[in-house]
Protein backbone atom coordinates (compact mmCIF):
# COMPACT_ATOMS: atom_id res chain seq x y z
CA UNK A 1 0.00 0.00 0.00
CA UNK A 2 1.60 3.17 -1.20
CA UNK A 3 0.25 6.69 -1.26
CA UNK A 4 2.04 8.88 -3.72
CA UNK A 5 5.75 8.11 -3.69
CA UNK A 6 6.32 7.40 -0.02
CA UNK A 7 6.36 4.01 1.62
CA UNK A 8 3.22 3.16 3.55
CA UNK A 9 4.91 3.37 6.93
CA UNK A 10 6.20 6.88 6.26
CA UNK A 11 2.74 7.92 5.13
CA UNK A 12 1.14 6.52 8.29
CA UNK A 13 3.88 8.11 10.39
CA UNK A 14 3.06 11.48 8.82
CA UNK A 15 -0.65 10.99 9.44
CA UNK A 16 -0.23 10.17 13.13
CA UNK A 17 2.43 12.83 13.56
CA UNK A 18 0.15 15.37 11.91
CA UNK A 19 -2.77 14.36 14.11
CA UNK A 20 -0.58 14.97 17.13
CA UNK A 21 0.69 18.31 15.80
CA UNK A 22 -2.88 19.37 15.13
CA UNK A 23 -4.03 18.04 18.49
CA UNK A 24 -6.61 15.67 17.08
CA UNK A 25 -4.70 13.17 19.18
CA UNK A 26 -4.23 14.56 22.65
CA UNK A 27 -1.59 13.66 25.26
CA UNK A 28 -2.10 10.35 27.08
CA UNK A 29 -4.34 8.94 24.35
CA UNK A 30 -3.80 5.18 24.09
CA UNK A 31 -2.62 4.00 20.69
CA UNK A 32 -3.69 0.38 20.43
CA UNK A 33 -1.82 -1.45 17.69
CA UNK A 34 -4.78 -3.43 16.38
CA UNK A 35 -6.92 -0.30 16.14
CA UNK A 36 -4.26 1.45 14.06
CA UNK A 37 -4.04 -1.69 11.92
CA UNK A 38 -7.75 -1.44 11.18
CA UNK A 39 -7.59 2.29 10.52
CA UNK A 40 -4.72 2.13 8.06
CA UNK A 41 -5.29 -1.37 6.68
CA UNK A 42 -1.82 -2.72 7.37
CA UNK A 43 -0.33 -5.33 9.65
CA UNK A 44 1.13 -4.76 13.10
CA UNK A 45 4.61 -4.94 11.61
CA UNK A 46 4.09 -1.56 9.97
CA UNK A 47 2.26 -0.02 12.90
CA UNK A 48 4.98 -1.06 15.31
CA UNK A 49 7.59 0.52 13.08
CA UNK A 50 5.61 3.77 13.06
CA UNK A 51 5.19 3.70 16.84
CA UNK A 52 8.90 3.11 17.33
CA UNK A 53 9.77 6.10 15.15
CA UNK A 54 7.27 8.28 17.00
CA UNK A 55 8.66 7.17 20.33
CA UNK A 56 12.18 8.10 19.25
CA UNK A 57 10.80 11.55 18.41
CA UNK A 58 9.46 11.53 21.98
CA UNK A 59 5.93 12.35 20.84
CA UNK A 60 4.79 8.85 21.76
CA UNK A 61 5.68 7.00 24.91
CA UNK A 62 6.32 3.27 24.45
CA UNK A 63 5.69 1.49 27.73
CA UNK A 64 7.05 -2.09 27.73
CA UNK A 65 4.23 -4.63 27.55
CA UNK A 66 1.71 -1.86 28.16
CA UNK A 67 1.43 -0.24 24.77
CA UNK A 68 1.88 3.24 23.36
CA UNK A 69 0.35 6.53 24.47
CA UNK A 70 0.74 10.07 23.19
CA UNK A 71 3.48 11.62 25.29
CA UNK A 72 2.56 14.11 27.99
CA UNK A 73 5.63 16.19 28.81
CA UNK A 74 6.00 17.43 32.37
CA UNK A 75 6.43 21.18 33.02
CA UNK A 76 10.13 20.66 33.73
CA UNK A 77 10.61 18.92 30.39
CA UNK A 78 8.71 21.66 28.58
CA UNK A 79 11.01 24.32 30.03
CA UNK A 80 14.00 22.32 28.90
CA UNK A 81 12.52 22.03 25.42
CA UNK A 82 12.15 25.82 25.23
CA UNK A 83 15.66 26.31 26.58
CA UNK A 84 16.95 23.99 23.87
CA UNK A 85 14.92 25.79 21.22
CA UNK A 86 16.21 29.20 22.27
CA UNK A 87 19.73 27.87 21.84
CA UNK A 88 19.18 26.13 18.50
CA UNK A 89 17.02 28.82 16.97
CA UNK A 90 19.42 31.54 17.99
CA UNK A 91 21.96 29.91 15.75
CA UNK A 92 19.40 29.14 13.08
CA UNK A 93 18.01 32.65 12.87
CA UNK A 94 21.52 34.08 12.77
CA UNK A 95 22.38 31.97 9.78
CA UNK A 96 18.97 32.49 8.18
CA UNK A 97 19.35 36.27 8.39
CA UNK A 98 22.67 35.98 6.61
CA UNK A 99 21.55 33.63 3.88
CA UNK A 100 17.97 34.69 3.27
CA UNK A 101 17.17 35.29 -0.43
CA UNK A 102 14.10 36.76 -2.03
CA UNK A 103 12.53 33.34 -2.68
CA UNK A 104 12.97 32.50 0.98
CA UNK A 105 11.33 35.72 2.10
CA UNK A 106 8.45 35.02 -0.25
CA UNK A 107 8.03 31.52 1.14
CA UNK A 108 8.09 32.79 4.72
CA UNK A 109 5.54 35.48 3.95
CA UNK A 110 3.28 32.99 2.25
CA UNK A 111 3.43 30.73 5.29
CA UNK A 112 2.68 33.63 7.60
CA UNK A 113 -0.35 34.64 5.52
CA UNK A 114 -1.68 31.08 5.69
CA UNK A 115 -1.13 31.10 9.42
CA UNK A 116 -3.09 34.34 9.83
CA UNK A 117 -5.89 32.82 7.77
CA UNK A 118 -6.05 29.82 10.09
CA UNK A 119 -6.11 32.05 13.15
CA UNK A 120 -8.91 34.17 11.67
CA UNK A 121 -10.85 31.01 10.84
CA UNK A 122 -10.40 29.72 14.41
CA UNK A 123 -8.46 26.80 12.99
CA UNK A 124 -6.18 26.34 15.99
CA UNK A 125 -4.83 23.00 14.81
CA UNK A 126 -3.79 24.40 11.46
CA UNK A 127 -2.24 27.44 13.07
CA UNK A 128 -0.13 25.36 15.43
CA UNK A 129 1.11 23.22 12.60
CA UNK A 130 1.91 26.16 10.35
CA UNK A 131 3.68 27.91 13.19
CA UNK A 132 5.94 24.87 13.56
CA UNK A 133 6.46 24.73 9.81
CA UNK A 134 7.48 28.37 9.85
CA UNK A 135 10.27 27.70 12.35
CA UNK A 136 11.38 24.64 10.38
CA UNK A 137 11.48 26.72 7.22
CA UNK A 138 13.95 29.04 8.93
CA UNK A 139 16.13 26.02 9.72
CA UNK A 140 15.94 25.04 6.07
CA UNK A 141 17.01 28.53 5.01
CA UNK A 142 19.87 28.39 7.51
CA UNK A 143 20.97 25.36 5.53
CA UNK A 144 22.17 23.00 8.23
CA UNK A 145 20.57 19.57 7.86
CA UNK A 146 21.44 18.18 11.30
CA UNK A 147 20.11 21.32 12.99
CA UNK A 148 16.96 21.15 10.89
CA UNK A 149 16.40 17.56 11.95
CA UNK A 150 17.03 18.30 15.62
CA UNK A 151 14.63 21.25 15.54
CA UNK A 152 11.99 19.04 13.94
CA UNK A 153 12.01 16.90 17.06
CA UNK A 154 11.79 19.89 19.36
CA UNK A 155 8.95 21.47 17.36
CA UNK A 156 6.94 18.27 17.62
CA UNK A 157 7.47 18.16 21.36
CA UNK A 158 6.47 21.81 21.60
CA UNK A 159 3.16 20.99 19.92
CA UNK A 160 2.52 18.39 22.59
CA UNK A 161 3.33 20.95 25.25
CA UNK A 162 0.85 23.39 23.70
CA UNK A 163 -1.77 20.64 23.52
CA UNK A 164 -1.30 19.95 27.18
CA UNK A 165 -0.83 23.38 28.71
CA UNK A 166 -2.94 25.75 26.64
CA UNK A 167 -6.70 25.72 27.32
CA UNK A 168 -8.56 24.10 24.42
CA UNK A 169 -9.68 26.59 21.79
CA UNK A 170 -7.20 29.24 22.82
CA UNK A 171 -4.57 30.16 20.30
CA UNK A 172 -0.92 30.54 20.98
CA UNK A 173 0.27 33.18 18.58
CA UNK A 174 -2.33 35.90 18.12
CA UNK A 175 0.42 38.46 17.76
CA UNK A 176 2.56 38.94 14.70
CA UNK A 177 5.98 37.94 15.94
CA UNK A 178 6.52 35.92 12.80
CA UNK A 179 5.96 38.92 10.55
CA UNK A 180 8.36 41.08 12.53
CA UNK A 181 10.83 38.20 12.33
CA UNK A 182 10.49 38.04 8.55
CA UNK A 183 11.21 41.77 8.22
CA UNK A 184 14.28 41.54 10.40
CA UNK A 185 15.62 38.49 8.57
CA UNK A 186 14.86 39.89 5.12
CA UNK A 187 16.78 43.05 5.98
CA UNK A 188 19.68 40.93 7.16
CA UNK A 189 19.64 42.42 10.65
CA UNK A 190 21.13 39.54 12.62
CA UNK A 191 20.97 41.10 16.07
CA UNK A 192 17.37 42.22 15.69
CA UNK A 193 16.37 38.81 14.33
CA UNK A 194 17.98 37.06 17.26
CA UNK A 195 16.26 39.33 19.77
CA UNK A 196 12.85 38.82 18.20
CA UNK A 197 13.30 35.06 18.08
CA UNK A 198 14.45 34.91 21.68
CA UNK A 199 11.54 36.99 22.89
CA UNK A 200 9.09 35.15 20.66
CA UNK A 201 10.01 31.78 22.14
CA UNK A 202 9.90 33.14 25.67
CA UNK A 203 6.48 34.67 25.01
CA UNK A 204 5.22 31.31 23.75
CA UNK A 205 6.58 29.62 26.85
CA UNK A 206 4.95 32.15 29.16
CA UNK A 207 1.60 31.55 27.51
CA UNK A 208 1.72 27.94 28.64
CA UNK A 209 0.30 27.28 32.04
CA UNK A 210 3.30 25.41 33.30
CA UNK A 211 2.58 26.37 36.89
CA UNK A 212 -0.72 24.51 36.83
CA UNK A 213 -0.52 21.33 38.88
CA UNK A 214 -0.86 17.96 37.16
CA UNK A 215 -4.32 16.48 36.82
CA UNK A 216 -3.04 13.23 38.26
CA UNK A 217 -1.35 14.60 41.33
CA UNK A 218 0.25 12.66 44.09
CA UNK A 219 -2.50 12.22 46.70
CA UNK A 220 0.01 12.08 49.50
CA UNK A 221 1.30 15.51 48.52
CA UNK A 222 -2.20 16.93 48.01
CA UNK A 223 -3.31 16.03 51.52
CA UNK A 224 0.07 16.29 53.21
CA UNK A 225 -0.74 19.31 55.37
CA UNK A 226 -4.26 18.10 56.21
CA UNK A 227 -2.92 14.82 57.49
CA UNK A 228 -0.13 16.56 59.36
CA UNK A 229 -2.58 18.90 61.13
CA UNK A 230 -4.80 16.06 62.15
| Contacting residues toward a copy of itself, per CB under 8 A | 7, 49, 52-53, 56, 58, 64, 77, 80-81, 83-84, 87-88, 90-91, 144-147, 149-150, 153-154, 157
Q: Are 161 and 208 in contact (CB under 8 A)?
A: yes
Q: Which of 88, 103, 114 is nearest to 178 (CA)?
A: 114
Out of a copy of itself, DNA, none, what residue 74 binds, judged by CB under 5 to 8 A for its kind, is none
- The Cα–Cα gap between 51 and 24 comes to 17
Q: What angle do CA 111, 89, 142 make, to 5 degrees?
A: 65
Among 12, 46, 70, 100, binds DNA (CB under 7 A): 46
> Quick one: which segment of 17-25, 30-38, 122-130, 178-186 binds DNA (CB under 7 A)?
30-38
Q: Which of 102, 189, 175, 185 is nearest to 139 (CA)?
A: 185
Q: Are 123 and 115 in contact (CB under 8 A)?
A: no
Shortest spacing between CB 210 and a copy of itself, in angstroms: 15
* Closest CB to a copy of itself among residues 29, 94: 94
Return contacts of 219-226, CB within 8 angstroms, 24+ apart. Answer: none
Out of a copy of itself, DNA, none, what residue 144 binds, judged by CB under 5 to 8 A for its kind, is a copy of itself
Does residue 61 touch DNA according to CB under 7 A?
A: no
* Closest CB to DNA among residues 48, 58: 48
Amino acid sequence: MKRGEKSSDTWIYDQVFGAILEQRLRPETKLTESELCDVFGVSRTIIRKVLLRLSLDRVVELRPNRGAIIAAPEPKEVREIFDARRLLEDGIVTEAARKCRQVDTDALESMSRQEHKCIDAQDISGAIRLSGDFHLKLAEIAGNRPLHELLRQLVAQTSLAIARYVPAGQGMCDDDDHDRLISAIASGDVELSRRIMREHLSACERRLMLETPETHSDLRLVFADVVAAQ
